[in-house]
């Protein structure tokens, strides 16, 4: 069957029609699992809200496991498959390598996710997303995850194959676009992640069916986190790529410097996965120097990379806005940004939340000694709701708003609600992560059904402030669930009932990068290099000052606890 | 030169980097080094560093030591479950066992003294979370972790289990008295 291409009349992007179908299906299934995970989130939040406490303990741990698996793995990786295909075949204007294998990816992941969900919902596998051995889930749980991971691995190789196709067929000149480079970073990290997953999940599966006798509990933790944390590093790379993409699409931003941005990605490839150690800082059996070197991504080089992206993304937006004449004062460029476009607002809220809330808290949490103040407390989910939800999920939502007319050829329904949704979701999720971290600072445990310890031989009364924080967690959690539900309804509604848009011409001829479209116009106009970005400098300094203060406040806290040596 | 298109300048790596970016890269690098050195500094001068003294062990081996310790050092029992309240032995050692779903026994320590706390899990992963002080240590089955602790406040402290360990997880509450 010959490859056919469709030129989007609105953006000038060219889609391989086979790849396009795959992107649509991966994204749609991702959103369906987002919906499932969101329903679970509502049950989780209504149970942890002390004055509501909806579910009994067994059901609580069941929905919490499902929430973790569906959100952290299924929704995000399905969406990332769509992103990988988009960043390769669409951005490089070439055909997708082996679409048939890409369908194998899709079906394996779908079957794996379905089996995994069945195993959890059947009640035999309430072991949390981390499934620490020797706590055993049903074999189906591990089997589902393995099938899912194999599917994702195939997707990674389809992406790499497509890069080769583009190179061989000379569909672009020079280097791949920055966004594709970011996707490549995500892909490389994904392969490491899946390899770690295979190394630990396959023996664990064999153990669950009785073939292996024992899985060492500490070894399990070390290798499992090679998958568990690295899978979140795929997200970081992917959503930073999406920030650059949306900045380019929404305001025509050009990277301040290709060299700096690509170098920052390169640091991700080298160092980001070492962060698996973040979860092992309060473990026995691992040496201090191992902990220090790994938890700091070998001297914080990946943190440096994120700080660079945190500067260059808003910097690129500022330069583009100033070039349009928004030059008054420090922040006119920001005030006059397209805040009514959900793609832009979602992206910007994602950027700010990830930097200020997720980034800073992550580094503090990942400092060897400071970790003892927060390990396994509610601070941990507080932190990763700021990174994975406010950061990744919100960036993916923002990109989806852009993709509905382009990829699905539908107009968004209820544009005012669409414009509102990133604010509802982003702000409530930001506050939610803050109050969760607040509760964690006061010691409240994560994955814990009952703050009142019913059935314990004696009592411990949490401070009143902890109950206040948990109450606020309940309130803002429910608002965040509403924000998430708005997204699912608006997107599904648009796909079903949105006005059909002109899909453009479908031909068997590949067209090169066209000169006169929105997407292409932002290139070739000289350079944004050395544009002055004073507003971004101020924002970046604000981040650094908050970072330094919060970092040392925590050392102060640590110096006040019992002596440990 | 848009991020979604190939760089317009094929020799993009030859373009100089702007001043503001250099400044930020410099600041980020400096901050990274400060944070890295801070952890090492705390190992030298800080008073809160987690011990790495760990032994592979089995439930039988640890239980034998822990039961002997309890038998020799119990000062009284508390609650209707008769949980022993145990003082440190003359070497300043205490044994604390985590199992489904209890911390055993209750410990009685003195402020300002340094103890070697032997932590062990008989079954699943558990989490030693000392409240309201807020010190959190992972307890991994198969590994006996010897943590040196120096209480700095007196009072009654709770040990919350903060690693999910099954249906009774929330009822797993231990106690430490500090005089």
What the block records as the tokens of A191 is 């392969």
Are A433 and A390 spatial neighbours (Cβ–Cβ below 8 Å)? Answer: yes
Q: Look at residues A259, A258, A534, A334 and name the one whose alpha carbon lies nearest to residue B20.
A: A534
Quote the strand ranges of A176-321, DSSP E: none
Q: What is the strand order of the sheet B74-78 is part of?
A: B74-78, B83-87, B106-109, B173-178, B155-161, B126-131, B135-139
Across the interface, do A373 and B36 touch by the CB < 8 Å criterion?
Answer: no
Residues in Cβ contact with A7 at an 8 Å cutoff, skipping those fewer than 6 apart: A13, A14, A15, A504, A505, A507, A511, A514
| Interface probe with A: pick from B114, B147, B164, most Cβ of A within 10 Å | B164
Count how many domains chain A has.
1
What residue in A sits closest to B125 (Cα-Cα)?
Answer: A132
User: In this structure, is residue A256 part of a structural domain?
Assistant: yes
Please check whether residue A260 lies inside any domain of the structure. Answer: yes
* pLDDT digit string, tens, across residues A136-180: 999 999 999 999 999 999 999 999 999 999 999 999 989 999 999
Per-residue confidence (pLDDT) for residue A525, from 0 to 100: 38
Q: What pLDDT score was predicted for residue A522? A: 39
Average pLDDT for consecutive 10-residue bins of chain B (179 residues)? 82 91 97 97 97 97 97 95 96 97 96 98 97 96 97 97 96 97
* pLDDT, position A514: 66
User: Searching chain A, which residue's CA lies closest to the CA of residue B79?
Assistant: A457
The fraction of chain B above a pLDDT of 70, given in percent, is: 99
Domains, chain B, in order of start with CATH, read: 1-49 (no CATH), 54-178 (2.60.40.420)
Sorted by sequence, the CB contacts under 8 Å of residue A323 that are 6+ apart come out as A528, A531
CB contact under 8 A, B17 and A252: no
**Per-residue pLDDT at A352 exceeds 80:** yes
B149 touching A, CB under 8 A?
A: yes
CB < 8 Å to B27, chain A: 544
The maximal CA–CA distance of chain A, rounded, in angstroms, is 75
Q: Which of A353, A216, A262 minimizes the C-alpha distance to B56?
A: A216
A21 contact partners, CB below 8 Å, separation of at least 6: none
**Do A174 and B7 count as a contact with CB atoms less than 8 A apart?**
yes
pLDDT tens for A488-500 read 999 999 999 999 9
Q: Report CA-CA distances (Å) from A407 to A7, A382, B1.
A: 11, 34, 24
d(CA A358, CA B14): 34
* Contact state of A253 with B147 under an 8 Å Cβ cutoff: no
Interval B96-109: pLDDT, tens: 999 999 999 999 99
Mean pLDDT, rounded, of chain A: 94
Give CA–CA dist A178/A258, Å, rounded. 7
CB contact under 8 A, A248 and B4: yes
In a domain, A471, yes or no: no
Q: What pLDDT, on the 0 to 100 scale, is given for residue A529?
A: 52
CB of A397 closer than 8 Å to CB of A347: no
Task: Answer whether residue A520 is part of any domain.
Answer: no
- Percent of chain A exceeding pLDDT 70 equals 97
Q: Which residues of A touch B83 (CB under 8 A)?
A: 457
Q: Give the B window 19-48 contacts with A, CB below 8 Å.
A: 19-21, 23-25, 27-29, 31-33, 35-36, 38-40, 42-43, 46-48
Q: Is the ipTM of this complex over 0.90?
A: yes
How confident is the model over A514-539, as pLDDT tens digits?
655 555 543 433 455 568 999 999 99
Q: Which of B50, B142, B161 is closest, CB to CB, to A372?
A: B50
Does residue A221 lie in a domain region? yes
Q: Give the CB-side neighbour count of residue A161, counting CA atoms within 13 A.
A: 14
Q: Which domain holds residue A273?
A: 216-337+530-559
């Amino acid at each position: 069957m010959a490859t056919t291409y469709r030129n989007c009349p609105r953006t000038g992007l060219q889609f391989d029609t086979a790849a396009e179908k795959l992107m649509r299906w991966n994204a749609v299934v991702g959103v369906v699992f987002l919906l499932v995970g969101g329903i679970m989130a509502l049950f989780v939040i209504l149970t942890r809200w002390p004055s509501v406490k909806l579910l009994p303990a067994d059901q609580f741990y069941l929905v919490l496991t499902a929430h973790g698996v569906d959100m952290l793995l299924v929704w995000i990786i399905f969406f990332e498959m769509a992103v990988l295909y988009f960043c390769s075949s669409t951005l490089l204007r070439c055909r997708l390598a082996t679409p048939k294998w890409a369908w194998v990816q899709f079906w394996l992941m779908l079957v794996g996710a379905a089996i995994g969900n069945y195993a959890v919902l059947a009640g035999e596998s309430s072991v949390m997303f981390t499934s620490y051995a020797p706590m055993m889930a049903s074999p189906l749980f591990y089997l589902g995850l393995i099938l899912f991971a194999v599917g994702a691995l195939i997707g990674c190789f389809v992406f790499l194959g497509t890069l080769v196709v583009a190179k061989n067929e000379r569909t672009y000149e020079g280097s791949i676009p920055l966004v594709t480079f970011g996707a490549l970073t995500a892909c490389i990290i994904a392969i490491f992640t899946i390899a770690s997953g295979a190394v630990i999940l396959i023996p664990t599966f064999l153990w669950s069916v009785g073939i292996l006798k024992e899985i060492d509990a500490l070894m399990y933790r070390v290798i499992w986190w090679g998958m568990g944390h690295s899978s979140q590093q795929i997200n970081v790379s992917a959503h930073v790529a999406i920030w650059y993409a949306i900045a380019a699409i929404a305001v025509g931003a050009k990277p301040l410097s290709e060299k700096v941005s690509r170098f920052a990605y390169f640091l991700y490839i080298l160092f980001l996965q070492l962060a698996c150690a973040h979860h092992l800082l309060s473990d026995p059996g691992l040496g201090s120097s191992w902990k220090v070197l790994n938890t700091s991504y070998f001297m914080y080089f990946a943190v440096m990379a994120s700080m660079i992206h945190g500067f260059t993304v808003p910097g690129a937006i500022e330069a583009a806005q100033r070039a349009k004449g928004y030059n008054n004062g420090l922040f006119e460029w920001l005030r006059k940004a397209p805040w009514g476009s959900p793609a832009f607002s979602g992206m910007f809220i994602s950027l700010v939340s990830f930097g200020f809330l997720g980034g800073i808290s992550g580094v503090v949490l990942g400092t060897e000694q400071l970790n003892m103040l927060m390990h396994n407390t509610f601070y941990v989910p507080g932190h990763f709701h700021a990174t994975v939800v406010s950061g990744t999920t919100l960036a993916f939502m923002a990109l989806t708003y852009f993709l509905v007319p382009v990829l699905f050829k539908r107009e968004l329904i209820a544009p005012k609600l669409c414009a509102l949704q990133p604010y509802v979701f982003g702000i409530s999720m930001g506050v939610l992560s803050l109050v969760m971290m607040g509760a964690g600072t006061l010691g409240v445990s994560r994955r814990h059904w009952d703050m009142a310890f019913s059935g314990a031989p004696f009592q411990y009364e949490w401070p009143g402030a902890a109950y206040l924080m948990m109450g606020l967690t309940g309130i803002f959690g429910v608002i965040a669930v509403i924000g998430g539900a708005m997204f699912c309804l608006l997107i599904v509604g648009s796909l079903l009932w949105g006005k059909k848009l002109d899909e453009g011409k479908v031909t068997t001829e590949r067209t090169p990068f066209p000169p006169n479209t929105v997407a292409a116009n932002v290139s070739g106009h000289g350079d944004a290099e050395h544009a002055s970005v004073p507003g971004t400098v101020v924002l970046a300094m604000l981040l650094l000052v908050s970072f330094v203060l919060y970092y040392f406040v925590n050392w102060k806290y640590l110096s006040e606890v019992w002596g440990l040596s | 030169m848009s991020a979604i298109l190939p760089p317009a300048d094929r020799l993009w790596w030859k373009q100089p980097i702007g001043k503001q970016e250099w400044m930020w890269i410099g600041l980020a690098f400096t901050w990274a080094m400060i944070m890295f050195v801070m952890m090492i500094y705390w190992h030298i001068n800080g008073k809160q560093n987690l011990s790495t003294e760990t032994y592979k062990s089995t439930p039988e081996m640890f239980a034998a030591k822990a039961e002997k310790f309890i038998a020799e050092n119990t000062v009284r029992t508390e609650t209707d479950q008769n949980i022993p309240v145990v003082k440190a032995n003359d070497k300043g050692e205490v044994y604390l066992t985590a199992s489904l779903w209890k911390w055993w026994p209750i410990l009685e320590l003195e402020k300002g003294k340094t103890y070697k706390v032997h932590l062990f899990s008989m079954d699943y992963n558990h989490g030693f979370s000392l409240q309201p002080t807020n010190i959190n240590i992972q307890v991994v089955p198969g590994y006996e972790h010897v943590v040196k602790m120096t209480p700095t406040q007196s009072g009654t402290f709770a040990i919350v289990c903060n690693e999910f360990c099954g249906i009774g997880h929330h009822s797993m509450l231990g106690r430490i008295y500090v005089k």
